[in-house]
Structure 1
């Protein structure tokens, strides 16, 4: 029978039970099919820097790993963001999915948010512009974007329960801005609510947010879905405007929702409206008629490789370049000491739901070998920067028991390649209940040297670790909830062991599940290492002393920059500062390459000639960095987040934990509008590097600023830019607005738009910008719209938030526009 696939017809052919079935996931990544009506499954996939597919965070079908969002933020290139969005949509299709759970557009409120790497910027307009382009790219391929997390999820501390207290003006002017443009300019097809409460109400139950603001004020016509396990109720969520509970099997809908309809708590029209939204999404992405077999592919495309390499290089920010130390001359840089914990490890992504299994990883060492040949290089690790003890690699057997006491015979067994497991909905071939199981885990470790080793273990569950039959670590009596496994696990417990070279040690782990608090996961991780001591730093200094050039690769990793855990400060982990100082003393001709998901303190900055910030640039990491080091690509990245001199200069660093990270289940955004560069302006704090900062291998000059107020309620801006250097290059011209005598408190300046021209040496061009009245307005909460008070306003252009090259004053009249 041929069914009418129009949405209206389909929804009216459905029973109430069928409509309800579409309002919650069937499993972790899909919605159920309705064969009777010819409706096939809708599938979704993480995430912002690629498409993981249905596999776990540890091991899945390989996928292209694109630069992290903070890298894209550093490009200030909307066209590139659109290309990346389009390419990731192609990756989504390779995983037989229809919806991408991206982009993440929460604002960099604090320098220590563990998820800053996954977000674009501290500035709402830069974030909005990049997100809009990214979404347009994805949806041009018929793949839905899901903009997230809506809203007030600017830290990972108690993120699933904390109450974010944010006044409406601050929400409208800062934290809602990217979402607003995603709806109005990009026509985004899906929105994901955040875990947290907003002003006392969980966002998944917040009618003001989901219905009044998103749908009524902005005209959103897509699907609102919960974050995974972020729905906590039945009637309150659907009545507020949450269409879809994820993941499945359902906890809050299904029979509960049918009962709520029968009891009059939820109307049939409300159910029908949400089912209509789901079917509309299915229609847009073509899943209704998608009968292709579910087969995930690893499409390692040359076009994606090239785009990732280009984007990674373009995101790189040149922070310092004394005496034009960079770019290096391929033929005259001599021998190179390649030093640091990130030199031979490709730090390509942050941690959490953004993780995927990449097609490959190019480390900085690999990139330099390709450029120079291995014979000109020498390596020294120097020190470590890991957060957890290095993962134990090797055959690891797991036997599962359908009880919590390891009783009887195992009901399922598996063999892992390394000592880590992440168990969510489907594991152990569904032979055990995720709420009532235990496991015996066995592996072995061959000690390469005699000495003291660190054994580290953390778990979401309870466990005991035995070495050759002796209990060495107890994560039952010592278990305390920490910042691992999405805040469901304990922090790592580390014990020291004296081991003998050449001896093989048997390691047994007895694990049993713990009832999760919020996220339905269990898991564990075992790491072992023999710590590097001062001799490692000395070896690095010796390598630098005997080389012509030293390049030190330092920073963090996805263990530090990760979902579920904020940083404690912004200092470099471990002994990395000591390493840099020792290398500089041995060889002043030293370049430092940073890889972090946000700002870091740099106490040795005055002594080092050149510094690059390379972020997490995706699978082409080493090639992208080498391209910039040797000048094959310009370092056209500009900081999307201010680098403070020290953590205490950060906007959220106050004497009150209520402001950050929160206390007693609540965090108050007490700084209001004054985040990022606005904070440094207001308090006259000089940052280490200002927002928008970045050097080039050439030089640029701005002149001839002209600003005109037209009769069409717009402001036209023109400025001339000239490349006064010796090579072609690109820079970012940033335009800020200010109200000179505001009637109420306003930031001293606000970014409104930007351009990134490519200009040949000696050439000049005119850049033209158009501003609307909204670009000068503030949110008038009482009247419900955007207001301009008559008076003088300033339009400024420059190369970063500190370096303003020219300004002009204009007069504007009173104006008011509703939401």
Structure 2
């Protein structure tokens, strides 16, 4: 490639572009396969591999199984840390994981702000507040890209729910769009310079995001100065020339589907041809930025490394603990060493370490709370019981599965394959198998521990039938209908109950691909479920176990089947009999601690009766260790809520005005009628009392925030000011708190929320230690967006700076005056 190197030895993109034929330029604008760009060997242009994030690097394998990798805390758990340095550290750690998988691009972070408590990908995002989200995302991107791996902030923009996400139009008022939903993307683009961005599936005001020239060109590139590549979400490209002209570089996955006719369009239209060349420049630049020209990586899935680093395990454990939010503690925590503990509940022996959808991966390990407490206890007594179930789907048998492939019904076997569990997502196929047209036969053996009734199930993206001991049990073939599984490309789960004798039983599943409208060709999946029917006396059994221990830790919540991509959350009440389990255990043992693992808020009818509640989220592969660290006081519960926990669904900001059109949407559109009033902004305006407010979290120590000061009482054009407070640890343990600063505009020309978070700082202090915390403010922090003049506007006058440790605990007020009106015009 010496003929296209510039004087500095870097790739001369202009010279390389001039050597590309139009056909080669077009080829760069859609993936080669699910995870790679198209190489052009003639000019030594290598393929660039991307991989799903944001809470780990799965590599090029399937969503289920595949090469093992490190599983980090999910987005809302990291959002709870409010710790920019930790996010930067995690970004750098993820870069090493990506390079081990041969990937130069990580499809992360997810930075849509929380609009509703029911968003299915709530767990994957950071916060309800745009400034908190933007600052955390900036640190994550900086850490990742400093190590040479491209970040891909997503989903740009307006993807705040999963309902009909592939087609629905998010109709967002201009001010809310700018102040809430675009703001995190603007911050990360301007402050971290991400090398890529992913568009959302949905439409904005009727136009698909991947076809949206105002979003991609006017705002992203011209106004914000974005210099990176824009790619679609998988299957989210809807046109050829139009999307290229709108500013979308890369259709994913490949081979080209929406852009299958792009070459013909470009040959017939000079404007499209010019746009193709410019978009091809973006692909080449991303290959250059990631160092892939200079160091083409072995991107084969077989070459992916599954190295587990001790320092990564330690980081995940530390981050998991720091994100946990202590919601209630009457003094029962930390637990004393040596006491007997009953660890009960559906999440006790099962490690819930991640959410579902594209964020899931094959973790190196999954440490359950039971495992973590047993290790922490040492010689102490730890007992356990399940109590009840919280599964959405029947559990997948973790047994070997043998697959035989045929080209047609009754044909000869053309390939075989073995898998380690009974859920298969085909992202690759044996040689000779056509992903669009094959017949698969899966066989496996399950054990019935005793005579009784057992449940079987199937869910599939494709047609499937399940037979048990040669007898058909579940028909998901003739009766197949589109449902909520597999990103809405699959069916709903179909269940049947069967009487089995104790011992082994052979299962056989017939499978055939079935492509639906707006589906991804070659995306095939099947999930087999199996479980004994639940014991109705299990709650009482768990309470009996708890009664014999000094303390009871009830591990409840959800899992990645409930909290997942492609379908919104079920509601706010915990599924199954989990609330009854808490009540029964609390009645049997007054020393009951509830450990919640969810991806967002839930109702807690037992809150007043239990002495302690710890929100642990999905904290990554070291979950049980991190939970034990916090429960025994070896680590501080360092989390503060990044989302308001409402008391009931009627308090959700998307429900009061028009329950259908406002959420989830009707007639292909969802209207953001609440405008600016989400989260704590809605709490203030509606004067409701949340279950727990935004920014809230308890510590094992106490803090005093005092002596607020301003560097200047007045701010003018081009100036900044700093607000400072003294923070003292007034307790007997080391700990951390988050100082939060909100701005209240005393007199505004346009309606504004009562207060808006504009600055924060996390501080770690030893007992008795005092530290001065300084927070910087500029004119943009005082401004609102005026859509009538297309500008950010701050009106002259007085502003209150509210300072404290949560959105409802702000005891200090500083007065700041703006000497003259200020405007910053947009496009």
1:180 maps onto 2:167 in alignment: no
Q: Residue 652 of structure 2 aligns with which residue?
A: 650
Q: Residue 203 of structure 1 aligns with which residue?
A: 209
Root mean square deviation of aligned Cα: 1.5
Preserved CA contact (<8 Å) 2:415 2:432: no
Runs (4 or more) in structure 1 with deviation over 4 Å come to: none
Preserved CA contact (<8 Å) 1:713 1:772: yes
Q: Residue 535 of structure 2 aligns with which residue?
A: 533
- SS across alignment from 1:313: helix
Q: What TM-score comes out, normalization by structure 2 length?
A: 0.96
Q: Residue 672 of structure 2 aligns with which residue?
A: 669
Q: What TM-score comes out, normalization by structure 1 length?
A: 0.97
Preserved CA contact (<8 Å) 2:562 2:570: no
How do residues 718-737 of structure 1 correspond to structure 2 at under 5 angstroms?
Answer: 718-737=724-743
- SS across alignment from 1:418: coil
1:714 maps onto 2:714 in alignment: no
- SS across alignment from 2:420: strand
CA displacement at 1:472 relative to structure 2: 2.2
Instruction: Find the partner of 1:414 among 410, 413, 417.
Output: 417
Q: Residue 360 of structure 1 aligns with which residue?
A: 365
Deviation per CA, 1:142-195: give whole Å up to 9, x if none.
110001000011111111111111122111100011110111000111000011
CA displacement at 1:635 relative to structure 2: 0.7
Q: Residue 643 of structure 2 aligns with which residue?
A: 641
How do residues 315-354 of structure 1 correspond to structure 2 at under 5 angstroms?
Answer: 315-322=323-330, 324-331=331-338, 334-354=339-359
Instruction: Find the partner of 1:695 among 690, 694, 698.
Output: 698
- SS across alignment from 2:18: helix
Q: Residue 632 of structure 2 aligns with which residue?
A: 630
Instruction: Find the partner of 1:298 among 299, 303, 306.
Output: 306
Preserved CA contact (<8 Å) 2:115 2:160: yes
- SS across alignment from 1:371: helix
Distance in 2, matches of 1:688 and 1:531, equals 35
CA displacement at 1:450 relative to structure 2: 1.7
Distance in 2, matches of 1:347 and 1:288, equals 40
Aligned residues: 810
1:481 maps onto 2:482 in alignment: yes
Preserved CA contact (<8 Å) 2:343 2:370: yes
Shift of the 6–550 alpha-carbon distance from structure 1 to 2, 3 Å rule, reads same
1:705 maps onto 2:682 in alignment: no
Distance in 2, matches of 1:395 and 1:710, equals 68
1:92 maps onto 2:98 in alignment: yes
Distance in 2, matches of 1:138 and 1:76, equals 18
1:148 maps onto 2:130 in alignment: no
Distance in 2, matches of 1:444 and 1:293, equals 37
Preserved CA contact (<8 Å) 2:372 2:624: yes
Q: Residue 163 of structure 1 aligns with which residue?
A: 169
How do residues 353-752 of structure 1 correspond to structure 2 at under 5 angstroms?
Answer: 353-373=358-378, 376-403=381-408, 406-424=409-427, 426-432=428-434, 434-502=435-503, 504-520=504-520, 521-654=523-656, 655-707=658-710, 708=712, 709-711=714-716, 712-752=718-758
Preserved CA contact (<8 Å) 2:111 2:154: yes
CA displacement at 1:380 relative to structure 2: 0.7
Q: Identify unmatched segments of 5+ residues in structure 2.
A: 5-10
CA displacement at 1:808 relative to structure 2: 2.2
Preserved CA contact (<8 Å) 1:235 1:265: no
Q: Residue 265 of structure 2 aligns with which residue?
A: 260
CA displacement at 1:430 relative to structure 2: 4.6
- SS across alignment from 1:652: coil
- SS across alignment from 1:353: helix
Distance in 2, matches of 1:529 and 1:153, equals 35
Instruction: Find the partner of 1:312 among 320, 336, 354.
Output: 320
Preserved CA contact (<8 Å) 1:40 1:289: no
Q: Residue 824 of structure 2 aligns with which residue?
A: 817
Preserved CA contact (<8 Å) 1:379 1:543: yes
- SS across alignment from 1:796: strand
- SS across alignment from 2:484: strand
Instruction: Find the partner of 2:766 among 741, 754, 760.
Output: 760
CA displacement at 1:517 relative to structure 2: 2.6
Preserved CA contact (<8 Å) 2:241 2:272: no
Instruction: Find the partner of 1:795 among 801, 819, 827.
Output: 801
Shift of the 292–203 alpha-carbon distance from structure 1 to 2, 3 Å rule, reads closer
CA displacement at 1:563 relative to structure 2: 0.7
CA displacement at 1:375 relative to structure 2: 5.2
- SS across alignment from 1:737: strand
Deviation per CA, 1:656-699: give whole Å up to 9, x if none.
21111112211111111111111111101100000010000010
- SS across alignment from 1:271: helix
Shift of the 265–465 alpha-carbon distance from structure 1 to 2, 3 Å rule, reads farther
- SS across alignment from 1:732: strand
Compare 534-543 and 511-520 and name the one that shifted more.
511-520
Q: Identify unmatched segments of 5+ residues in structure 1.
A: none
Distance in 2, matches of 1:563 and 1:364, equals 25
Deviation per CA, 1:323-351: give whole Å up to 9, x if none.
x11111214xx211111111111111111
CA displacement at 1:632 relative to structure 2: 0.9
CA displacement at 1:395 relative to structure 2: 3.0
Preserved CA contact (<8 Å) 1:701 1:723: yes
CA displacement at 1:804 relative to structure 2: 1.0
Shift of the 292–706 alpha-carbon distance from structure 1 to 2, 3 Å rule, reads closer
Shift of the 563–467 alpha-carbon distance from structure 1 to 2, 3 Å rule, reads same
Q: Residue 3 of structure 1 aligns with which residue?
A: 3
Preserved CA contact (<8 Å) 2:414 2:432: no
Q: Residue 779 of structure 2 aligns with which residue?
A: 773
Distance in 2, matches of 1:444 and 1:462, equals 21
CA displacement at 1:371 relative to structure 2: 1.0
